[in-house]
């Protein structure tokens, strides 16, 4: 089968012909129909500090996907051949404190698909039955079904806080920021502001439901000044910080109203200096950090939002490409003129037309 692989401890990825994975008794084999490229995969391409410490090549990458089950292990009971599925990418231990208290996304013994074990940028992937998520083929096309995994991050970032009637700012309009805009819109936010330094992403932000967008790069004002102007100096009820950039974290704290809420989701690569007295305590800010998805609670919410088209992700699918085009896809994402790119392996087609 074809697979997109990290073959050595170096930059780049290779498309290779490799054996179809064997499955253990508790695993299923899935013919991948669509797999989306994530920021994580760009880090892996670059072989940056994080990926060079974490990955152990050779490895097939990719963790966001949908496909059809073609084989099941002996002890698999709830998944059958022919099922149309996606998967939670975090294979957790199930026995630690976090796993047993509905915090499995924080399990210290997690294996991530396409990071710690072979992933989905391939004709076939094997995964344990326990991470399988059943899809409805009529309601979700493979491209959209593949996006449930990253969309779940935005569902988690926005959940556990009342969005109804609130004025909201989303800092950073990458895929998860754009998902966040769609969810806040569907959840009854009154007014949604969005900021990014990429004009193309701001166009998508509007398409997903942002009322006003701002590009600090092409403006003499900074984002905090723009927010003051837009809110009669009051600031916003809720700010979602999706970039992890030092300036953006400060902007997030500065843009929330006194007594407002800030969700930090973007991951800074180094420590950030913050004026805790003036920017947090005297403002009575509520700040929460969010990471990952609550398994499987956010998957159910994701299904509800996507199957009903309460949030339509079609505008965010910038291209569908073959596995062999991985380098073109990575370049397109790096140039910043794309939101999500789907890889479409072809092996499943011969199964569909099989005996």
Q: Please, which residue, 90 or 348, has the CB nearer to Zn ion? A: 90
Cβ 93 to Zn ion shortest distance, Å: 4
Cβ 148 to Zn ion shortest distance, Å: 11
Q: Is 93 a residue that touches Zn ion (CB under 5 A)?
A: yes
Of 31, 38, 127, 146, which lies in the binding site for Zn ion, with binding defined by CB under 5 A? 38
Stretch that binds Zn ion, among 70-78, 105-113, 176-184, 226-234 (CB under 5 A): 105-113
Cβ 177 to Zn ion shortest distance, Å: 14
User: What 3-state DSSP class applies to 224?
Assistant: helix
Q: Is 96 a residue that touches Zn ion (CB under 5 A)?
A: yes
Q: Is 36 a residue that touches Zn ion (CB under 5 A)?
A: no
8 A C-beta contact, residue 127 and residue 113: yes
Is 43 catalytic? The answer is: yes
Q: Please, which residue, 99 or 256, has the CB nearer to Zn ion? A: 99
Q: Is 99 a residue that touches Zn ion (CB under 5 A)?
A: yes
Of 72, 86, 92, 184, which lies in the binding site for Zn ion, with binding defined by CB under 5 A? 92
d(CA 44, CA 18) in angstroms, rounded, equals 20
User: What 3-state DSSP class applies to 286?
Assistant: strand
Q: List beta partners, residue 15.
A: 4
Stretch that binds Zn ion, among 93-101, 132-140, 232-240, 342-350 (CB under 5 A): 93-101
Rg (CA), the chain: 21
Is 40 catalytic? The answer is: yes
Q: List beta partners, residue 14.
A: 5
Q: Pull the structure tokens for residue 330.
A: 């990575």
Which of 7, 40, 77, 263 is the catalytic position?
40
CB atoms within 10 A of CB 46: 15
Q: Is 107 a residue that touches Zn ion (CB under 5 A)?
A: yes
Q: Is 243 a residue that touches Zn ion (CB under 5 A)?
A: no
What is the Cα 279 distance to its own chain's centre? 29
Q: Please, which residue, 51 or 92, has the CB nearer to Zn ion? A: 92
Cβ 342 to Zn ion shortest distance, Å: 13
Q: Pull the structure tokens for residue 105.
A: 């996304």
Query: Among residues 53, 65, 40, which one has the least CA distance to residue 333?
Result: 40
Q: Please, which residue, 38 or 262, has the CB nearer to Zn ion? A: 38
DSSP code per residue over 50-97: HHHHH--SSEE---EEEEEEEEE-TT--S--TT-EEEE-SEE--SSST
Which of 7, 43, 72, 218 is the catalytic position?
43
Cα angle vertex 65, ends 347, 306, to 5°? 125
Binding mask 268-307 for Zn ion (x = CB under 5 A): ----------------------------------------
Q: What is the DSSP letter of 218?
A: G
8 A C-beta contact, residue 64 and residue 38: yes
Q: Please, which residue, 38 or 202, has the CB nearer to Zn ion? A: 38
Stretch that binds Zn ion, among 111-119, 150-158, 202-210, 278-286 (CB under 5 A): 150-158
How many amino acids of this chain bind Zn ion (CB under 5 A)? 8
Which residues, 6+ apart, have CB-to-CB distance to 324 below 8 Å? Answer: 2, 15
Stretch that binds Zn ion, among 43-51, 101-109, 188-196, 280-288 (CB under 5 A): 101-109
Cβ 208 to Zn ion shortest distance, Å: 18
Helix spans in the chain (H): 39-46, 49-54, 142-146, 148-158, 175-186, 199-208, 223-230, 246-255, 276, 297-307, 326-335, 347-352
Cβ 166 to Zn ion shortest distance, Å: 27
Burial of 136 (0-12, 13-18, 19+ CB in 10 A): exposed
Cβ 233 to Zn ion shortest distance, Å: 38
Residues at the site binding Zn ion, with contacts judged by CB under 5 A: 38, 92-93, 96, 99, 107, 109, 150
Active site residues: 40, 43
């Amino acid at each position: 089968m074809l697979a997109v692989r990290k073959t050595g401890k170096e930059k780049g990825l290779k498309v290779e012909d490799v054996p179809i994975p064997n499955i253990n008794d508790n695993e299923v084999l899935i013919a991948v129909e669509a797999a989306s490229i994530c920021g994580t995969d760009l880090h892996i391409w670059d072989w940056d500090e994080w990926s060079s410490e974490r990955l152990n090549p050779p490895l097939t990458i990719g963790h966001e996907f949908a496909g059809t089950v073609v084989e099941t292990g002996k002890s698999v009971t709830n998944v059958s051949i022919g099922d149309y599925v996606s998967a939670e990418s975090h294979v957790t231990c199930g026995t630690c404190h976090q796993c047993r208290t509905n915090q499995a996304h924080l399990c210290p013994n997690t294996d991530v698909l396409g990071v710690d074990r072979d992933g989905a940028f391939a004709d076939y992937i094997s995964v344990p039955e326990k991470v399988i998520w059943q899809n409805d083929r009529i309601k979700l096309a493979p491209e959209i079904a593949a996006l449930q995994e990253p969309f779940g991050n935005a569902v988690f970032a926005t959940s556990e806080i009342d969005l109804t009637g609130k004025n909201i700012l989303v800092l950073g309009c990458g895929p998860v920021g754009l998902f966040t805009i769609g969810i806040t819109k569907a959840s009854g936010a009154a007014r949604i502001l969005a900021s990014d330094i990429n004009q193309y992403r701001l166009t998508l932000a509007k398409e997903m439901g942002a009322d006003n967008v701002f590009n600090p790069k092409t403006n003499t004002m900074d984002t905090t000044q723009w927010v003051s102007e837009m809110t009669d100096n009051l600031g916003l009820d809720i700010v979602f910080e999706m970039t992890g950039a030092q300036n953006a974290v400060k902007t997030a704290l500065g843009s929330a109203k006194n007594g407002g809420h800030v969700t930090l989701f973007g991951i800074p690569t180094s420590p950030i200096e913050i004026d805790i007295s003036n920017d947090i305590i005297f403002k009575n800010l509520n700040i929460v950090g969010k990471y990952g998805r609550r398994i499987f609670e956010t998957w159910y919410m994701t299904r509800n939002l996507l199957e009903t088209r309460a949030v339509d992700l079609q505008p965010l699918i910038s291209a569908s490409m073959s596995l062999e085009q991985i380098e073109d896809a990575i370049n397109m994402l790096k140039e910043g003129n794309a939101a999500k790119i789907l890889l479409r392996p072809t092996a499943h087609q011969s199964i569909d037309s099989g005996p």
